[in-house]
Amino acid sequence: MTTDAEAGRESSDRDTSSPGDSVGVDATDRSEPDGAYEAHLERSRRKWDRWSDWYGMSERDFEPMREDAIDRLEIEPGDRVLDVGCGPGVNLALLREAVGPTGGVVAVDYSPEMVAKARERVDEHGWENVEVVRADATRVAFDEPFDAAIASLSLSVMPDVRRAVENVHRLLVPGAPLVVFDVRPFPSGPARVLNPLVWRFLRWCANWNPDDDVLEALRATFPECEVFETYTAGTTYTALCRAAEPPS
Ligand SMILES: C[S@@+](CC[C@H](N)C(=O)[O-])C[C@H]1O[C@@H](n2cnc3c(N)ncnc32)[C@H](O)[C@@H]1O
């Protein structure tokens, strides 16, 4: 039997039976959510539950960016990797390949339907060391830290990007990399005049969060953070950040 973790809402209700249980989920609620936060999260759940049947259609579009992003993590066999806002598990094959049979992948998503799709993928491939957890990535906690993390097209749709980024930082071993592949409005040039339309579109299709800036949150949290690639006039980018090392 599988129980979905309503991490963040009810800290005691957690996923207990996915493959890779040794990962040890401790969905402790560290934050004090307000009404706006909960409303955004609930809109997200509805939106991404609805998209889950169609998401596969766009999976291929971003494949080269995903491959490039995951390459930058320089994952070693045996590593433990976190996929933040995993959707239907589009990164899982590449991550599983990188960690090999001795490593582990934990994927987190808030949408139950996305989680179901990701788990189907895991089951189809028989990946015993890949676990999909239903949780709010902003508040989920784990017993063991991660050697690397990826957040692709996910942070910018979360209700409080800064707190989500801070939580991912907390979940990493010191010095571990986080790669973020995400979208934003036109950052410069005359096309900026279109940004109000871009905001509306992203908000409609993805419940995108117009109030927070992912890169700003990353730079405020991670001591190292560099955008190493941009696409489509800068509206899509990949950034590599590195978690703080303990003071020597
Ligand atoms: C655009 S999809 C990205 C999916 C996948 N990472 C990819 O690269 O295509 C955004 C995903 O973020 C998830 N998400 C949104 N808010 C979340 C939250 N607070 N915690 C965990 N997942 C969240 C959504 O459910 C959705 O599956």
**What's the predicted TM-score (pTM) here?**
0.87
Asked, for residue 2, whether it belongs to a domain, the answer is no
31, 40, 48: residue to mutate for ligand 1 pocket, most atoms within 8 A of CB:
48
Asked, for residue 42, whether it belongs to a domain, the answer is yes
Asked, for residue 8, whether it belongs to a domain, the answer is no
Ligand 1 atom having least distance to the Cα of 86: 6
Q: How far is the CA of 1 from the centre of ligand 1 (A)?
A: 24
pLDDT digits 0-9 by tens, 97-154: 999 999 999 999 999 999 999 999 999 999 999 999 999 999 999 999 999 999 999 9
For residue 53, the domain's CATH number is: 3.40.50.150
49, 109, 132, 214: residue to mutate for ligand 1 pocket, most atoms within 8 A of CB:
109
**CA dist 50 → 45, 54, 56, 100, 163 (Å):** 8, 8, 13, 32, 26
pLDDT digits 0-9 by tens, 185-221: 898 999 999 989 988 888 888 888 878 899 999 999 9
Asked, for residue 12, whether it belongs to a domain, the answer is no
On the 0-12 / 13-18 / 19+ scale of CB atoms within 10 A, 16 is exposed
**Number of separate domains in the chain:** 1
pLDDT digits 0-9 by tens, 43-91: 999 999 998 888 776 777 888 999 999 999 999 999 999 999 999 999 9
CA distance 90 to 99: 16
**CA dist 13 → 83, 113, 145 (Å):** 21, 18, 21
Asked, for residue 3, whether it belongs to a domain, the answer is no
Asked, for residue 151, whether it belongs to a domain, the answer is yes
Amino acid letter for position 91: N
Q: How far is the CA of 248 from the centre of ligand 1 (A)?
A: 36
Asked, for residue 143, whether it belongs to a domain, the answer is yes
CA distance 96 to 102: 10
Q: Which domain covers residue 52, as residue numbers?
A: 21-242
Amino acid letter for position 54: W
